[in-house]
Amino acid sequence: MSITGPVHWLATYCLLVMTASSQAATIDTALVGNVNNPPDANGRGSVAKYFRIATKEVTNTQYVEFLNAVAASDPYGLYRTEMSTELKGGILRSGSSGSYSYSVKSPGQSGAYDYAKKPVMYVSWYDSIRFTNWLHNGQGSGNTETGAYTLLGGTPIPSNGASITRNAGARWFLPSEDEWYKSAYHKNDGVTGNYWDYPTQSDTPPNNLLPTSDIGNSANHVNNSGGYTRGPTYPMTDVGEYPITVGPYGTKDQAGNVFEWTEMLFNVSDRVARGGSWNHFNSDMRFSSFRVFAASLESSTVGFRVATIPEPGTLLLGMLGGLVYLSRLGHNGNASY
């Protein structure tokens, strides 16, 4: 069997992807496989391709890097003053328009509350897709208005806000509703339609123990009697801080901490967010629950995580496996191992 054609095509593709990936931000991701898994009973969670999703929510540190790269004048309103003025916010801005600079707040609560590792908040849906455009375009001075998504109008709320969808060839992006749902709830047991009720590999509502007391199935949220994990002043946990609790594909905090934007358009001006937050009950983490927010909302309970295309090695192994399988079919009429 000659595989020159497919391998040549694959090598070319991998070279292009590696070139793009070499410029991408350092964000830990988990592979979501089981391609073409059936949806659940509600029709959600089926994804027809491999993808990788960030294991953690975007942090204040990562967002500061973004702001310092593209927001010296901040014409798109990527920074919100509550990031500085509210105790829950974790980012400071100094200087004047044209020479703004940004930094992570110093630790609070007697040094125990490390803003650097907390999820960024007060970010709109438009802020989040501008962040993915920046990643897609290689960071640095990368364009925020084109790339994974096209934003028109040159204003914080784009003129085409209701029609923005992922562009072909996007390398970094917000997860779609099905991508987020699959990575949170699918049982990762092969190409099946089996799903958990919660993003903690559990059908039981998560507890809200502190990370140091994690016994599994834990998340940062308000318990049913109104108690907080950390308290309302310093409410967030570090991203990925729960050592035992993990999602079916290796993610952390898809339950609790902050709601996470998805791509899904709900109506002309609203987008869907999932996963619950530090200020909500664990019922908001259940598979059947989602929140609809104005895409322009910037809140202390909403952040985001990103997703990306698979690494070249993942595609290479998968496609070579397919070529071997086809080769055996061609020689024997059936597959042998």
> Domain holding 254: CATH number?
3.90.1580.10
Distances in Å between the Cα of 217 and the Cα atoms of 58, 95, 200, 260, 290 are: 22, 44, 5, 19, 19
Q: Are 187 and 197 in contact (CB under 8 A)?
A: no
- Residue 313 has a pLDDT of 61
**Spatial separation of the C-alpha atoms in residues 41 and 178, rounded to whole Å:** 13
144 within a domain of the structure (yes/no): yes
5 within a domain of the structure (yes/no): no
Q: What are phi and psi of 126, to 5 degrees?
A: -65, -40
Residue 322, classified by CB atoms within 10 Å of its CB into exposed (0-12), middle (13-18) or buried (19+), is exposed
Distance from first CA to last CA of the chain, Å, rounded?
Answer: 17
**pLDDT < 70 stretches in the chain:** 1-25, 313-337
Q: What are phi and psi of 308, to 5 degrees?
A: -150, 175
Q: Among residues 272, 47, 298, which one has the least CA distance to residue 178?
A: 47
Using DSSP's 3-state secondary structure scheme, residue 63 falls into: helix
306 within a domain of the structure (yes/no): yes
335 within a domain of the structure (yes/no): no
Q: Among residues 54, 69, 276, 291, which one has the least CA distance to residue 174?
A: 54
Tokens (6 digits) for 196:
């958990």
Task: Give every strand in the sheet of 302-303, ordered side by side.
Answer: 291-294, 270-274, 259-265, 302-303
- Residue 20 has a pLDDT of 40
- Residue 231 has a pLDDT of 82
DSSP-derived letter for residue 238 is: P
**Spatial separation of the C-alpha atoms in residues 180 and 261, rounded to whole Å:** 9
Residue 124, classified by CB atoms within 10 Å of its CB into exposed (0-12), middle (13-18) or buried (19+), is buried
Q: Among residues 166, 196, 179, 54, which one has the least CA distance to residue 119?
A: 54
Range of the domain at 231: 29-312
- Residue 110 has a pLDDT of 86
- Residue 18 has a pLDDT of 40
147 within a domain of the structure (yes/no): yes
Contacts of 271 by beta carbon, 8 Å cutoff, 6+ apart: 125, 261, 262, 263, 264, 265, 292, 293, 295
Q: How far is CA 20 from the centre of its chain?
A: 19
Number of domains in the chain: 1
Give the residue ranges of DSSP H helices in 43-124.
60-70, 82-85
